[in-house]
Amino acid sequence: MKYRRDPSFVITALIGTLLVSPAAYADIYKYVDKHGRVTLTDTPTNTNHTRLVKTWKGWVEPKSTRKKGYSINFAKNMKKFSPAVDYVAQHYKLPRSLLHAVITAESAYDPAAVSRAGAVGLMQLMPETAKRYGVKNRLNPIENIHGGSRYLRDLLLMFDNNLILALAAYNAGENAVKEYGNKIPPYRETQNYVRKVLAYYKQYKKTIG
């Protein structure tokens, strides 16, 4: 004997499924190891994991950790890392206001920042760049600042101290700048990046020196 399921039962069950509370989802946590590898888990093993929230875009970091594009710890971290930034700038003969400008644009002084492309840390070092400059732990702020500063210094030398081209190369890679005849590549991200760093540089020259 066959039973026919009441259509109203099916609809009720479907609605019940769609209205499941977000709390029914297991919490998901993100962890970035010292090599910049991102791991997602529902069973965090230490306090370095960041809890993600479920949205229509997928699992993302809570908005409360960001404010107008900056980490809520921006001012605190800038003050914390300024002595190191100033020391490294002097060591590699770079204007400290320039180094602060690059870090602001790259990570907003978030030492754990990870880009979609896999760049990590205060100066957003890619694995290849970190390896080139002997940075073993991209999440180590001091190592990261040293590696990024050396790279920026070398780019300035490569492009005859043309700051615009050096910044474009820092963002898009030196080969991209060369491929376009030593001009800013026609990438919107790179063009916006150069403008952003120059604006911060101008601002910090007045406030930082």
Residues forming the active site? 106
CA distance 147 to 126: 10
Q: Token pair of 135, please?
A: 């940075």
Round to whole Å and give the CA distance between 183 and 136.
32
- Alpha-carbon distances, residue 5 vs 1, 12, 16, 121 (angstroms): 13, 12, 17, 57
Cβ–Cβ < 8 Å for 117, 107: no
Residues 6+ apart with CB under 8 A from 58: none
Please tell me the distance from the alpha carbon of residue 110 to that of residue 70, in angstroms, as a whole number: 9
Angle value at C-alpha 15, between 10 and 17, nearest 5 degrees: 95
Assign 3-class secondary structure to 151-169: HHHHHHHHCCCCHHHHHHH
